[in-house]
Chain A
Amino acid sequence: MKQILIVDDSRTVRDSLKFFLREGGYEVLEGSDGVEALDVLKTARPNLIITDVNMPNMDGLTLLENVRNSPEHKFTPVLVLTTESQQSIMERGKSLGATGWIVKPFDSQKVLAVIKKVLGG
């Protein structure tokens, strides 16, 4: 079963994502900010990381940089959660090595479609 790490400081977002992902047949790991996520990544090797941008302690883009600089995870796909108005974040994310983005608000269908796009069938 494919493993996905979701990183968001909002519990609502985490829970809804978790629900959608489990429904889609994925195993879910969680972190509430970049620091926690890095902690999880010390032992786990998820197939995908989905991260919010604005978070306490360590924001999503810094997390992304850390992921790309780690030998174990440098090739792991990372999706950035953004809103429609955050065009510049998507661009910065891309330049830091983000694989893609999920635009908030999202529904189950949308999330699973994006994940399939990144992970394949």
Chain B
Amino acid sequence: MTRKKKPIVVNLPDEFQIHAVNDRFQEFLQILEEERPVVIDMSLVNSVDYAGLQLLYSLMRSCEEKELDFIITNVTPPVIQKIALCGLSGDLLKEGINGSV
């Protein structure tokens, strides 16, 4: 049912860090209400911190609960590195996920 719906694409800005995390949180809450698949486009993001990654994780978890597809795409090398540092690659950077978009 939900699969047929057009995904919402979220373009995250250059910085996705603790300072902005409250605003992003509000934004994510609204996105979630639309009950549509979520695509997080990270092509612009150059700096991310633990607070940002953790928020992404929570969004992913919310999507799982609502059985909505959740995809993180176009991840830049510095962000990939941070995700790996935090030990979250396995969850946030699932293989083949880009292909399914």
Contact = CB atoms under 8 A, between A and B. Distances in A.
- Is A bound to B? yes
Interface string B59-101: 0000000000000000000000000000000000000000000
Nearest to B47: A120
Interface size band for A: under 10
Contacts of A75: 18-19, 51
B52 to A, nearest CB: 12
Interface in A52-81: 72, 75
Contacts of B51: 75
A27 to B, nearest CB: 16
B24 to A, nearest CB: 14
Nearest to A76: B19
Interface string A23-52: 000000000000000000000000000000
Nearest to B22: A71
Contacts of A72: 19
Contacts of B19: 72, 75
Nearest to A45: B19
A72 B18 CA distance: 11
Interface string B14-27: 00001100000000
B22 to A, nearest CB: 9
Interface in B16-55: 18-19, 51
Contacts of B18: 75
Interface string A70-114: 001001000000000000000000000000000000000000000
Nearest to B51: A75
Nearest to B21: A75
Nearest to A73: B19
A73 to B, nearest CB: 9
Interface of A: 72, 75
